[in-house]
Amino acid sequence: MEFTGKIIAVLPPKGGVAKATGNEWKAQEFVIENHDQYPKKMCFEVFGTDKIDQFNIQLGEELTVSFDIDARQWQDRWFNSIRAWRVERVAAGDAAMQTGSPVPPPAPAATPDFNTGDAKDDLPF
């Protein structure tokens, strides 16, 4: 799945050590907002120091985020996870296309010629 919009929040990285393996881990969350008539926000996670550094997501950037959704259970509760696996920068011209603003129709080449014609054909409205 993909979501395109502007990064409106960069949350601090989180990290720890996995209990099962003893390996260190690091994750960072970002909030992106699309440009629909009624904008939607999505908080997604980038997992792993290598991915965080590779994506180098900055506040205010226009991005298209490819992500997977998964759920996990912890202490009889379920939590959704939205994990980004690819991030692409949106070019400035493409961002204007994403706003959802309708494109105005082209102006007519010439004004039509409305002849008054016969006065008997004149409609009262």
> Largest Cα–Cα distance of the chain, in whole Å?
94
- Position 91 scores a pLDDT of 82
Average pLDDT over residues 100-109: 53
pLDDT tens figures, 47-97: 999 999 999 999 999 999 999 999 999 999 999 999 999 999 998 665 544
| pTM, two decimal places | 0.70
Cα–Cα distance, 48 to 13 (Å, whole number): 10
Domain ranges of the chain: 2-98
pLDDT tens figures, 6-50: 999 999 999 999 888 989 999 999 999 999 999 999 999 999 999
CA torsion sign for 43, 54, 48, 52 is negative
pLDDT higher than threshold 60 for residue 102? no
pLDDT tens figures, 87-100: 999 986 655 444 44
Question: Judging by beta carbons within 10 Å of its beta carbon (0-12, 13-18, 19+), is residue 80 exposed, middle or buried?
Answer: exposed
pLDDT higher than threshold 90 for residue 103? no
- Position 94 scores a pLDDT of 58
The residues, any chain, with a CB within 8 Å of residue 34's CB and separated by 6 or more, are: 3, 4, 5, 40, 98
Its CATH class, for the domain covering 2-98, is mainly beta
Average pLDDT over the chain reads 84
